[in-house]
Amino acid sequence: MHEHHNVALPGLLLLAGLSGYTGLVCLPRRRRPWPWWRTASWFAGLAAAGSAVLGPPAGGGFVGHSVGHLLLGMLAPLLVCAAAPVTLLLRGLPAGAARRVSRVLRSAPVVLLTHPVTVVLLDVGGLWLLYATPLFRLASADPAVHQLVQAHVFLAGCLLTVALVGPDPMPHRAPLPVRAAALVAFTAAHGILAKFLYAHPPAGVSAVDAEHGAMLMYYGGDLVDVVLLVLLALEWYRRPRAARRQGNLGVSPVAGGVAEGHAH
């Protein structure tokens, strides 16, 4: 959107995320080492977010904006959530602090915020608000508004991914059919938005640029949605075996999920 927006704050946040996760991974542990691929996923997620905020896509017209949208709102959240940062945090905290974090995760506001209906409304609703109102032009002209929009896109994408397929323990995770329905609704709404942008370019965007950017948003979004669908299908496929194992051990599905999260 804006070629000269302030990059100091996003850069500091990315650096904090990089150093914080690395510090937790390097803590001495009596459990088995943290999986390397989760660490690689965190670094890749931050790289995707950083390239969207600091790199060329931020100043490449509407096509560049669409690339940034896919990186910041879909790919980066998927990679960051696959890194299981909450599980890593719970492993690294003292027992008392870990219990307090667990209580927060079970609180009513967090349950509401991570419900599939809530996250779909926050994600898709925010995008419609951006493109179907003067907000897009305002964000293009005001660096502060631009950064607020980017923060919303990234955080809403993270909430959506966590609520649907996140590996971190979530005691009140919605049933699988509800999450599958939410993913279908999100995919449809995102596709409709891309088609809307193809036919109705945002203010200040040429028709040709809008068409190319909308097609990129449409097909690129479908690729990430397919990954989310595959992850949901894998959970459905594995659930019967996990349920039988937990039943034999006398462990509830929720408790077993939390225990598994700490084990990994």
Q: pLDDT (tens digit, 9 = 90+) per residue, 69-80?
A: 999 999 999 999
Does residue 92 lie within any of the structural domains? yes
| Residue 2 resides in a domain | no
Taking the C-alpha atoms of residue 61 and residue 2, their distance in angstroms, rounded to an integer, is 9
Task: Tokens 């931020």: give the residue.
Answer: 58
CA separation for the pair 139, 263 (Å, rounded): 43
- Tell whether 139 is covered by a domain: yes
In a domain, 90, yes or no: yes
Angle at 115 between CA 112 and CA 118, to 5 degrees: 85
Domain assignment of residue 1, yes or no: no
Give the residue-averaged pLDDT of 184-209: 93
pLDDT of residue 247: 38
Q: Confirm whether 228 is domain-assigned.
A: yes
Q: Does residue 137 fall inside a structural domain?
A: yes
Number of domains in the chain: 1
For 78-104, what is each residue's pLDDT tens digit?
999 999 999 999 998 998 999 999 999
CA distance 5 to 210: 22
Structural domain boundaries enclosing 64: 8-263
| pLDDT score, position 74 | 96
With respect to residue 207, please indicate whether it lies within any of the assigned structural domains: yes
Question: What is the model's pTM?
Answer: 0.85
pLDDT category of residue 239 using cuts at 50, 70 and 90: confident
